[in-house]
Copies of this chain bind each other. A is one copy, B any other.
Amino acid sequence: MKAVVLLSGGLDSYTAAAAVRRDGYELFALTIRYGQVHAREVDAARRVAAALGVRRHVELDVDLATFGGSSLVGDGDIPVARRLDGSEIPSTYVPARNTVFLSLALAWAEVTGAEAIVIGVNALDYSGYPDCRPEYLEAFERVAALATRAGVEGRRLRILAPLLHLTKAQIVALGLELGLDYGLTHSCYKPAPDGRPCGVCDSCRLRAKGFAEAGVDDPLLAAG
């Protein structure tokens, strides 16, 4: 069985990929450089891809910054938006990002004949993003079935999100159980010039919370 996995170089996509590999899938890793990505993140994705022993790792450029619309892609002209619970959607939200990512993974999945696409989204700790919800992933799976030769021919293409219902602590615990080296990953939105995580951005805080609740040290911080 083959799976195309969206690999960012972060902790979540590494863990999701490893979980699917354990289930017997051969991995094809796709890293999308969409205009916000630090070279450091791409380096992390390469390290993680090598550690996972993926069959092939593709890096694809899609300059979503052309459209503007997110603090991650550097455009200040964003309409005020609210979270599902009425609070604000995080400013790091990139419009339609997961849809763009999944569609590109779908293109590659069709070429390779993959049975699955893997995405490391999580509905619990990141509920501010509308495209991390289970019903969103189900809707995309239906698009995949209708869009492709595979679907026409009756072969199902599944969207796998093995972390969807896990807390960050459970994700860290799963990764350690799978023997992953989180020192390879990169999570910080605004790293220092020497690459050390800032420790205060949303991504750093969520990561720290995960390690703390899992009761283990983050090797990225220990490695200093």
**A interface with B by C-beta (< 8 Å):** 58, 60-64, 66-69, 75, 78-79, 81-82, 84, 89, 93-100, 102-104, 106-113, 130-131, 133, 135-136, 139-140, 142-144, 146-149, 151-153
Contact = CB atoms under 8 A, between A and B. Distances in A.
Interface-central residue, A66, A79, A102, by most chain B CB under 10 Å: A66
Contact of A96 (B66, B93, B147): B147
A152 B66 CA distance: 24
Contacts of A153: 81-82
A99 B89 contact: no
A101 B152 CA distance: 20
Contact of A67 (B66, B96, B108, B144): B108
Given A61-B62, A100-B107, A131-B148, 16 more contacts: A58-B67, A75-B111, A79-B113, A95-B108, A96-B104, A97-B107, A99-B143, A100-B100, A130-B146, A130-B147, A130-B151, A130-B152, A131-B146, A131-B147, A139-B146, A142-B142
Contacts of A58: 66-67
Contact of A147 (B99, B111, B152): B99
Contacts of A131: 146-148
A113 B108 CA distance: 30
A63 B61 contact: yes
Nearest to A99: B103
A41 to B, nearest CB: 19
Contact of A95 (B89, B110, B133, B152): B110
Contacts of A96: 103-104, 106-107, 109-110, 147-148
30 contacts: A58-B67, A60-B66, A61-B63, A62-B62, A64-B107, A67-B107, A67-B108, A68-B111, A69-B110, A69-B111, A78-B111, A82-B149, A93-B149, A95-B106, A95-B107, A95-B108, A95-B110, A95-B148, A96-B103, A96-B106, A99-B147, A100-B104, A100-B107, A103-B103, A130-B151, A131-B146, A131-B147, A139-B146, A142-B142, A143-B143
